[in-house]
Amino acid sequence: MLTVSEFESVKAVKGTFQLGGVRMNVYMYLVDELLIDCGPRRLQKEIMDFLSKESYTQIILTHHHEDHTGNASMLSSEIPMYIHPEGLPLCRARPHLPLYRRVFWGSRKPFDAKGIEHRFKTKHHTFDLLHTPGHAPDHMALLEKERGWLFTGDLYVMSQPKSIFAFESIPDVIQSLQKVLSQDFKTVFCSHAGILQNGRRRIEEKLYYLLSIQDQVLAKHNDGKPASVIQKELFPRRHVLNYFSLFENSSKHIVTSIINKEGSR
């Protein structure tokens, strides 16, 4: 199901579905004829119906994941589509998604985009493109300085994650959060949490939480505790997604991404 709302001149397009009692939200945004992300294949019919009635002349993808790019191969090749250069080979390749991600979002077909960095213009706005890896190597946030808007893709999602994916890195997310917080912005447009008018505070909350987790992990690591023990002490509970994903999503990756980065310093 799709629901559309508006904030200032930004259209927020929210896709919702349920699977096994887990409710998933995913957002795309439309502003000044720019489409930001194009949603998962699972919502293809609703999204293509919606887009057929909208006018957009450019598309930008916050990163290559299938819930943001699932319909990219369906969109007209006459409309330029952009992604961070690190995402280009990832988009051209056929993704090998684990079963639970194919079931949640649907897979996606390979597609071609153009690489972009630094800055992006629409008719009425200029967006600074902030390379913000940690969740994905090609992840970008879009900053509209004059309006105080920050489109954060999957950089935020929640303030206090208790588990992450195997491909994510807490130290890199921390750096990316610090990078966006060095800029002026007020409203956050998140791909899963929606529009956050107190967005700056929510991003700060996430940064402080992760810094505190990082300190605790390193203190225990320096005491000689193995990762499995640190994981049990800091994150004793497990979430349904941990099991669904066969632990591709797990608190273990929070601990190991911090220890591995420390070891490589």
Q: Which residues bind Zn ion (CB under 5 A)?
A: 65, 154
214, containing H or E segment: helix 199-222
Closest CB to Zn ion among residues 106, 220: 106
Residue nearer to Zn ion on the CB measure, 144 or 168: 168
Interhelix angle 199-222/170-181, rounded to 10 degrees, is 140
Closest CB to Zn ion belongs to which residue?
65
CB of 216 to Zn ion, least distance (A): 26
Least CB distance to Zn ion at residue 52 (A): 26
Handedness of CA 200, 205, 208, 210 (dihedral sign): negative
Residue 45 CB, nearest distance to Zn ion (Å)?
22
When the beta carbons of 86 and 227 are compared against Zn ion, the nearer one is 86
Smallest gap from residue 138 Cβ to Zn ion (A): 10
Token pair for 26: 């995913």
Q: Is 176 strand, coil or helix?
A: helix
Q: How far is the CB of 186 from Zn ion (least distance, A)?
A: 24
In the complex with Zn ion, which residue's Cβ is closer, 164 or 196?
164
CA distance 104 to 1: 14
User: Which CB atom, from 175 or from 212, has the smaller least distance to Zn ion?
Assistant: 175
Amino acid in the structure at residue 255: V
Q: How far apart are CA 39 and CA 50, in angstroms?
A: 12
Nearest CA to 60 out of 41, 34, 40 is that of 34
By beta-carbon proximity to Zn ion, the closer residue of 65 and 200 is 65
Closest contact distance (angstroms) between CB of 51 and Zn ion is: 21
86 vs 154, beta carbon nearer Zn ion: 154
User: Amino acid letter at 135?
Assistant: H
C-beta of 252: minimal distance to Zn ion in Å?
Answer: 19
Of 41 and 65, the one with the shorter C-beta distance to Zn ion is 65
Strand-pairing partners, residue 36, are: 29, 60
The residues that bridge with 35 in the sheet, in sequence order, are 30, 59
- Give min distance, CB of 111 to Zn ion, in A: 16
Q: Are 219 and 198 in contact (CB under 8 A)?
A: no
Do the strands 126-131 and 118-121 form a parallel or antiparallel pair, or are they unpaired? antiparallel
